[in-house]
Structure 1
Amino acid sequence: MDLLYITWDASPEIFRIGGFALRWYGLMFAAGFMFGFYMVRKMFLAEGAPEKWLDYLFYFLIAGTVLGARFGHVVFYQWDYYSQHLSEIPKVWEGGLASHGGVVGVVLALALFSYFISKKSFFWVSDKVAAPIALVGAMIRFGNLMNSEIVGIPTDKPWGFKFVNAARVSMREAARHPVQLYEMLSYLLVFGILLWLYWKKDAWKKSGLLTGLWFIGIFGFRFIWEYFKSDQGGFGEALTTGQWLSVPCVLAGLVMVILSRRGSSVV
């Protein structure tokens, strides 16, 4: 009996005019930040924070995300290649961004914003951007799906995707787990929970709680879904590179939650 699967032949481009092409990945990346900007603005206004800080925060986050994610991809996943082709490291437009590196970049960006702009604690701003960043992560994974990249291992499940536009021929031959969808739905769940806690349970009053839950939720799910991904390169044998990098993130999140809950409960 033939195996059931979904043939996935979506184009990564929404439209093309001459040499210009609007791609799903770029649109999702930009839209995620715009939605995030809107949500953080509501939080700033609700707490009476200066609205002019938003522009600074937006630029800090864009720079931190892109530079950090590129750094993570180069160092964690393809250093053997880029160490021999240093001139290609800045070519972000050719692809190659790693979420763990992006987190490092975002943390540094928020730290710089807190020190130079808001003059408030790191968690004051990180608790506000936690939910929006989870949404950005979900939208980026949708972009990965449209690019037919970061595909899963082969599966005989009826919801398996046959990625006919995958970069490597070997990835096109069998139906695979749509791990991009698994991660996207997981991050949307984290986004919904964090947003609910912020607005309905006043979780922002417990410094570091939302940030800690973000680290636990995002990287806890990332650890799980790594078991369903095809080899992404990097280091690691017993665990994948993504899992090794996720473990300290989850542990850091647990520490943040424990320290934040020294006050009154919000749940």
Structure 2
Amino acid sequence: MIGLLSFINWNVDPEIFSLGPLSIRWYGLLFASGFLLGYYIGERMLKSENVNQKWIDSLFFYIIIATVVGARLGHVFFYGWEYYSQHPAEIIKVWHGGLASHGGALGILIAMYLHSKKVTKRTMLWTLDRIVVPTALVAAFIRTGNLMNSEIYGIQTTMPWGFVFERNAETVAKHPTQIYEALCYLLSFVILSFLYWKTNVKNRPGFLLGAFFVLIFAARFFIEFIKEDQEAFEAGMALNMGQWLSVPFVLGGALLIYRAMKKPERVFKNS
């Protein structure tokens, strides 16, 4: 009996159904569902602070565009430049796969800077402190989508929860690192939600953003040790690309938390 339960055969079809040329995939459904739920949570948070509804609507428009564009360009430049430099037309074909969370994070940072300047007229940190709470939950949905695509998984394992990704012609169990990351991101969401609703740290600009960076990217850094290389150039690296890109976020997050605790609380009043 133990032998029968020593691994999980995973052969889920990434496509739910198709209507002619249009196909509905689990990844896209989870991606969209995550954003809709994130919008609901973020709207509830901002309404509790009596924020203008127009700010809320424009904020999430900025976020969606920044996430998709940033994550795609992050994948292109950080992981696949050798290929995309020779096939530039493929860059816009997001539906073929290839999104990098680090690029998405950078895209959101840029978008929130623009939103703060053009819309809210508040500090960029005020905006970022609030959006990172639902963003952690969205990240968990996206990693679950990666599981449904049988992609971004780990190295061989003998643990009983190992997955044999049959759609990729795997014959041995691998670490389901998509699940590890999704659970870490879900826990991060719970922690950030507690900090937002039950403490006053939202009045310390940069604290929640710093906590998000530390929680999300520290988890990413350690999980990468048991994840298969995403690109061939990572084969001889002591730390892979995902880890090198995570280090600045973790250090920056720790600095943001330190600075936030050194400064007095700041409460914004709506005009």
- Which residue is equivalent to 1:35? 37
User: Which whole-Å CA distance do the structure 2 matches of 1:110 and 1:10 have between them?
Assistant: 37
Deviation at 1:44, TM superposition (A): 1.6
- Aligned-partner residue type, residue 178 of structure 1: P
Match in the other structure for 2:229: 231
3-state SS of paired residue (1:165): helix
How do 1:17-166 residues align onto structure 2 when only pairs under 5 Å count? 17-166=19-168
User: Could you list the per-position Cα deviations for residues 206-239 of structure 1 after superposition, in whole angstroms to 9, with x for gaps in the alignment?
Assistant: 1110000000000000000001111111557110
Residue 244 of structure 2 is matched in structure 1 by 244
**Structure 2 residue ranges without an equivalent (≥5):** 266-271
- The structural deviation recorded for 1:252 is 0.5
1: CA distance, partners of 2:90 / 2:23 = 22
Q: For 1:11 and 1:202, locate their aligned partners in 2 and report how far apart those are by CA, in whole Å.
A: 45
One-letter identity of the residue aligned with 1:86? P
- Can you list the C-alpha shifts for 1:104-156, whole angstroms capped at 9, x where unaligned? 10100111110100000011111111110000100000000000000110111
| Runs (5+) with no aligned partner, structure 1 | none
CA-CA distance at 1:18 after TM superposition: 2.6
* Matches of 2:260 and 2:240, distance apart in 1: 31
Question: In the TM superposition, what is the alpha-carbon distance from 1:2 to its structure 2 partner?
Answer: 5.5
User: TM-score, normalization: structure 2?
Assistant: 0.93
User: 1:28-53 CA distances to partner (integer Å, 9 max, x unpaired)?
Assistant: 11111111111111122111110111
Indicate the larger mover: 248-257 or 43-52.
Answer: 43-52
1:189 aligns with 2:187: yes
Hey, what's the Cα distance between the residues in 1 that align with 2:3 and 2:104?
41
Residue type of the partner of 1:148? S
1:227-263 deviations in Å (ceiling 9; x for gaps)? 1111111557110000000000100001100000114
Q: Which amino acid aligns with 2:35?
A: F
Q: What is the identity, as a one-letter code, of the residue corresponding to 1:259?
A: R
Secondary structure in structure 1 of the residue aligned to 2:24: strand
Alignment partner of 1:156: what SS?
coil
In 1, Cα distance between the equivalents of 2:195 and 2:160? Answer: 36
Per the alignment, residue 209 of structure 1 pairs with: 207
Structure 2 Cα separation of the partners of residues 155 and 46 of structure 1: 46
TM-superposition CA deviations, 1:7-44 (whole Å, max 9, x none): 01111122222322211111111111111111111122
Within 1, Cα distance between the matches of 2:24 and 2:201? Answer: 38
CA RMSD across the alignment: 1.5
Cα separation, 2, equivalents of 1:88 and 1:19: 19
Secondary structure of 1:21 counterpart: strand
